[in-house]
Structure 1
Amino acid sequence: MGSYQDVYFPECSPLIEAPQVRSAYCLHVLNHVLKANSRVLAHNSQLRERKPGDDHQEELRDQGLTRPKVLILVPFRDGALRVVQTLISLMETRGRKMDVSNKKRFKDEFGEEPGDRPPNLSRPDDYHAVFSGNVDDHFRIGVSILRRSMRLYAPFYSSDIIIASPLGLRTVLGTEGESKRDFDFLSSIELLVVDQADVFLMQNWEHMLHVMKHLNLQPLDSHGVDFSRVRMWNLNTWSQCYRQTLLFSAIQDPQINNILSKHCFNYRGQVAVKNLPKTGSICQVLVQLPHVFQRFSSESFMDQDARFQFFVDKVLPQYRDAVMSHTLIYVPSYFDFVRLRNYLKKEEMNFASVCEYSKKSEVSRARHFFQKGDTQFLLFTERFHFYKRYAIKGICNLIFYGLPTYAHFYSEVCNMLQAGSSGEEASWTCTVLYSRYDMQRLAAVTGAPRAAQMLQSKKSVHLFVTGEDKGH
């Protein structure tokens, strides 16, 4: 971080690394802001001491076109709370008490959310780590920092640091054609921190991309800036080449990689951590189950038509027979979910569906009918699993329409077969669809060596068998 290169660290588990990573980037942010502010104050005193008419005065260029220097994107209010608490604790380590304005208001608005909590079911530790506090995802707050004081809720144009969610910023940035929109405060961002980038995938990735497109643009208004103090690279519209981006994620994903390749132009370069998983999450599947991986041809990462056509022509006909009841279809993308739901409706197939937008009563009804066998298929979105982590009972057949974003979701869903099982383990099936553009997710599920073999092989179907007394 200290080299001011862009950094991509996709090994940031919410359980282990996240608190340490937060402390590291907060320390870097404070160091950057305090040094920049000290330079401005020193130059201010120099200018006051100058006598009128002095020749050969050096230019004191130490500012951007607007004041905000740092943008920290976090998914939930709880993340913003932890960032501010970390900043305060780091400032107070020198034994000085910080004067923090609006502290009570901040704690009331960003503290523990007393609202509707999911039922107290047993959930994995990573779920509790992500959803432990206030999970509202619409917020933004400006923070100004001086040597011995911090002002929360500072207006953006008087702030050094802006902490926000992509949705919270999106509502201010607006879209083209709207009368009320403002993005000038992002014009001179020198340090962008994207924490828990993987969670943004589970929210709305479009908001993230919208924010990235509005960074380091020329402001539409001067906002009272002294142009004689503005750095030349800000005036020359080179701000994006001097911006450091720090990306932290629990997983590697092509869409997160795309942020670095398409939206980051740091002249100092980039450093990315890439660890290939030797053993995949399929090793955590405890049930005795044959996993059939079927490869289909695809023209690009975004080519969803090929996946849909392959599913409709090759996979679904095998499951239409009443014998293949209790089939759960796991769908990572909400757009694919809507497309499949419309297709199953049109075909008048016996199915139920649950997604992140389903009401509690709809979910209960769908789970009940599926367990009893009154509905043959259950369409199930990845985001529903991410936000709720319900155990679905009565599954006999699994279809992964796409590989999960989080590798451990694969084993979690497969192990659901144990819930409500009736001793028919021998008839359980699992089918997984993948293309050559799913390399990262495939490697996370099967392990990198196997994934490479599966993608290079002439065969398009591969079988794995898991279970306590079976080899993988």
Structure 2
Amino acid sequence: MIDLLFGDTKDSGEKRINLMNYKRFIKEFGPDSADGQSRISSRKPDDYKQLFAGNIDDSFRVGLSLTKKSLKLYSDFYSSDIIIASPLGLRLIIGAAGDAKRDFDFLSSIDLIIMDQADIFLMQNWEHVLHLFDHLHRKPKETHGVDFSRVKLWVLELWSKFYYQLLLFTAVPSPMITGFFNKFSTNFSGKLTIRNEIHLNRAAINNVYIQCSQIFHRFDCQSYGQMADARFEFFTTKILPKFRHDPMMIRTMIFIPSYFDYVRLRNYFRNEDIGFSQICEYSKPGKVAKARHIFFYGGRHFLLYTERYHFYHRPIIKGIRHLIFYEPPVYPQFYSEMVNAMNHANQGKKMFTDYSSMSVTVLYNKFDLPSLLPLVGTKSMTKLLSNNSNVHMFITENVLH
């Protein structure tokens, strides 16, 4: 960071940069034992090891104040040139309506926001991000010692939201991130989105080696706001009855990216007296172990399983014979991970018959386009969305039928 802000000072012969509060920074954010690797199982995927290594505290905020020859860490936000923070770290300062102590005037003068790894925010709490942006560029309640001679006219006119820049980086496309970017990227010069074309050999479905049917069901939806209700209606009336009453469909996992959809399905299953186990990001370890045990031995017909839990733990769930993706996963690699977890080694010696009796079901609609792209590739995605048929099947060799 020193070289980024001040240039390479090591070989220039210039005076060293004065770095203030560095010891405090190392104490709070320095690596733990073995850079965090000691607490991560060697069996976890490489991307998991890389993401969760080191300090993974999701509540932090640091102000940076710059001069020609110095960098002060932990400077007051109103005298800071740069703020490095997590959504939760800022949310705790911003507060909520009714809180005795709130502070968000410092957000009124933001010129540039860089959201790095925005997809991770989806796995934390996206509401913190929305809450933060709802408090951007508001009229300050106090002056905070501002030099009004330096304040631009368009700031006084409360036009800052039309001048600030938003740079958003994400490892995976997402309808929520796309909608967020379109709403809050308000610079008068316009906006630009860059996406990588995903060829079939790079699509997640190409990494599946289990030879079972993978059936994609398209349902109609008129608007993004109606998508949750339309998906729920389609699932409960068209998909669930086929699995609920067939004894051959026992040990069906329902993979649910959204926690709100998970709660809705959980309540529906309870009201309809449908036997199920459940694992979500709020489940305690003992409850998780019990749910996995019951599911493996067929004690419950269904297992409700959230993507956020999988993101933070990445376990191999054994005993899956039928897998339903309530919607395409946020992380495309989770698709191949979950399908490949259905291999015979995870079924038990007396439980495995053959892959032809297993199935994978995916629900999608036109608003799932960002998530479908890395899942099936550009060409297959076009067929899924434009073909007259609402049902499409993939086989292991990734040939669309």
- The answer to whether structure 1 residue 319 and structure 2 residue 240 are counterparts is no
Aligned counterparts of 2:71 and 2:199: Cα–Cα separation in 1: 46
Gaps of 5+ in 2: none
Shift of residue 369, structure 1, vs aligned partner: 1.5
Alignment partner, residue 218 of structure 2:
295
Q: 370, 379, 395: which one pairs with 2:320? A: 395
Alignment partner, residue 232 of structure 1:
153
Matched AA of 2:362: V
| Inter-CA distance 92–371: structure 2 relative to 1 (3 Å threshold) | farther
Aligned counterparts of 2:103 and 2:4: Cα–Cα separation in 1: 27
Return 128-137 or 391-400, whichever deviates more: 128-137
Q: 210, 213, 217: which one pairs with 2:138? A: 217
Aligned counterparts of 1:125 and 1:110: Cα–Cα separation in 2: 23
User: Is the contact between residue 256 and residue 304 of structure 2 (CA under 8 Å) also seen in structure 1?
Assistant: yes
SS at match of 1:271: coil
Alignment partner, residue 416 of structure 1:
341
1:62-119 alpha-carbon deviations (Å, 9 max, x no partner) = xxxxxxxxxxxxxxxxxxxxxx577578564545422211111111111235699866
- The answer to whether structure 1 residue 447 and structure 2 residue 377 are counterparts is yes
Q: 384, 396, 399: which one pairs with 1:466? A: 396
Q: Where do 1:249-288 residues align within 5 Å?
A: 249-279=170-200, 280-288=203-211
Aligned counterparts of 2:43 and 2:68: Cα–Cα separation in 1: 46
Matched AA of 1:341: R
Aligned counterparts of 2:77 and 2:23: Cα–Cα separation in 1: 20
- The answer to whether structure 1 residue 361 and structure 2 residue 286 are counterparts is yes
By relative contact order (CA 8 Å, sep 6+), the higher-ranking structure is 1
- The answer to whether structure 1 residue 372 and structure 2 residue 291 are counterparts is no
SS at match of 1:187: helix
Q: Where do 1:104-183 residues align within 5 Å?
A: 104-113=23-32, 120-183=41-104
| Inter-CA distance 198–305: structure 2 relative to 1 (3 Å threshold) | same
| Inter-CA distance 119–231: structure 2 relative to 1 (3 Å threshold) | closer
Matched AA of 2:157: N
- After TM superposition, the score normalised by the length of structure 2 is 0.91
| Inter-CA distance 434–92: structure 2 relative to 1 (3 Å threshold) | same
1:210-229 alpha-carbon deviations (Å, 9 max, x no partner) = 11121222211111122223
Shift of residue 230, structure 1, vs aligned partner: 2.0
Shift of residue 439, structure 1, vs aligned partner: 1.5
Look at both structures and tell me which one has the larger radius of gyration over its CA atoms. 1
Aligned counterparts of 2:185 and 2:362: Cα–Cα separation in 1: 34
Aligned counterparts of 1:185 and 1:87: Cα–Cα separation in 2: 24
Aligned counterparts of 2:214 and 2:311: Cα–Cα separation in 1: 22
Alignment partner, residue 230 of structure 2:
306
Shift of residue 258, structure 1, vs aligned partner: 2.4
Matched AA of 1:420: N
User: Is the contact between residue 113 and residue 135 of structure 1 (CA under 8 Å) also seen in structure 2?
Assistant: no
Shift of residue 269, structure 1, vs aligned partner: 3.1
Alignment partner, residue 3 of structure 1:
none
Aligned counterparts of 2:43 and 2:7: Cα–Cα separation in 1: 35
Matched AA of 2:94: L
Return 266-275 or 321-330, whichever deviates more: 266-275
1:149-196 alpha-carbon deviations (Å, 9 max, x no partner) = 111111111211111111111111122333311111111111111111
Matched AA of 1:406: Y
Where do 4+ consecutive residues of structure 1 move more than 6 Å? Answer: none
Shift of residue 202, structure 1, vs aligned partner: 1.0
User: Is the contact between residue 354 and residue 381 of structure 1 (CA under 8 Å) also seen in structure 2?
Assistant: yes
User: Is the contact between residue 113 and residue 166 of structure 2 (CA under 8 Å) also seen in structure 1?
Assistant: yes
SS at match of 1:274: coil
Matched AA of 2:167: L
Aligned counterparts of 1:294 and 1:272: Cα–Cα separation in 2: 28
Q: 233, 242, 245: which one pairs with 2:163? A: 242
Shift of residue 121, structure 1, vs aligned partner: 4.6
Q: Where do 1:177-192 residues align within 5 Å?
A: 177-192=98-113
SS at match of 1:405: coil
Aligned counterparts of 2:326 and 2:198: Cα–Cα separation in 1: 22
Q: 60, 85, 97: which one pairs with 2:16? A: 97
| Inter-CA distance 107–377: structure 2 relative to 1 (3 Å threshold) | same
Matched AA of 2:45: P
Return 157-166 or 452-461, whichever deviates more: 452-461
Aligned counterparts of 2:284 and 2:85: Cα–Cα separation in 1: 28
Aligned counterparts of 2:257 and 2:3: Cα–Cα separation in 1: 34
1:202-245 alpha-carbon deviations (Å, 9 max, x no partner) = 11111111111212222111111222232222222222222121
User: Is the contact between residue 327 and residue 363 of structure 2 (CA under 8 Å) also seen in structure 1?
Assistant: yes
Shift of residue 140, structure 1, vs aligned partner: 1.0
| Inter-CA distance 270–256: structure 2 relative to 1 (3 Å threshold) | same
SS at match of 1:466: coil
> Over aligned residues, Cα RMSD in angstroms?
2.1
SS at match of 2:224: coil
Gaps of 5+ in 1: 1-83
Aligned counterparts of 1:266 and 1:245: Cα–Cα separation in 2: 8
- The answer to whether structure 1 residue 336 and structure 2 residue 261 are counterparts is yes
User: Is the contact between residue 290 and residue 429 of structure 1 (CA under 8 Å) also seen in structure 2?
Assistant: yes
Alignment partner, residue 271 of structure 2:
346
User: Is the contact between residue 175 and residue 367 of structure 2 (CA under 8 Å) also seen in structure 1?
Assistant: no
User: Is the contact between residue 88 and residue 98 of structure 1 (CA under 8 Å) also seen in structure 2?
Assistant: no
